[in-house]
Amino acid sequence: LVDDLLDVSRISRGKIELRRARMDLRHALDSALEATRDLIARSGHSLAVERPDVPVWVDGDAARLAQVFSNLLTNA
Q: 35-53: per-residue pLDDT in tens?
A: 999 999 999 998 899 999 9
* All structural domains of the chain with their residue ranges: 19-75
pLDDT at 30: 96
Contact at 8 Å (CB) between 24 and 57?
A: yes
Whether the full predicted model's pTM is greater than 0.85, yes or no, is no
Binned at pLDDT 50, 70 and 90, residue 13 comes out as: confident
Q: What is the dihedral of CA 9, 15, 16, 20, to 10 degrees?
A: 170
